[in-house]
Amino acid sequence: MSLDDLYRRVIMDHYQRPRNRGRIEDNAVTIDMNNPTCGDRISLQLRVEDGKIEEAKFLGEGCSISQASASMMTEAIKGLSLEEALRLADLFSAMMQGEEVDTEQFPLEDIEALQGVAKFPARIKCATLAWKALEKGVKQPH
């Protein structure tokens, strides 16, 4: 199996069996965003306590890339400080720009499966939608 095949499988697994899909019932920041170009939508919820993301969930509609990216992101940011989550979002953004990223501090794990999206400029907005919602949410008062 090629690396591309493995990455496709990881993306499809997160799309078909999304992690953290749903709503946080109490004390959550909600960020709604959409990509008007393709119709992807996401509603991200973050529960932040003492500067850490204790819980992250999402609901949304869209292509496999946007939904898988949201699933991967919510898994990766749980337990991170707001500052660490922003740094991870910066790393992801750099990866989507085709840059080599140092994953020493923040291992990207499943998120690395999305690096091939950088080859398809029209799909980058799909992959980054949830991450843009995260950046917006982290900057809101908690």
d(CA 88, CA 131): 9
Q: What is the pLDDT of residues 26-80, one digit of tens each?
A: 889 999 999 988 899 999 999 999 999 999 999 999 999 999 999 999 999 999 9
What pLDDT does 109 receive?
A: 86
Q: If pLDDT is split at 50, 70 and 90, which confidence band does 138 have?
A: very high
Q: According to the model, what pLDDT value does residue 141 have? A: 72
pLDDT band at 139 (very low <50, low <70, confident <90, very high): confident
Which uninterrupted H or E stretch holds 122? helix 121-138
Mean pLDDT calculated for residue range 88-117: 88
Q: Is the pTM above the cut of 0.85?
A: yes
Domains by residue range for the chain, with CATH: 3-138 (3.90.1010.10)
pLDDT at 42: 97
Q: What pLDDT digit, counting tens, does each position of 16-28 carry?
A: 999 999 999 988 9
Distance CA 39, CA 109 (A): 27
Return d(Cα 65, Cα 14) in angstroms, integer: 9
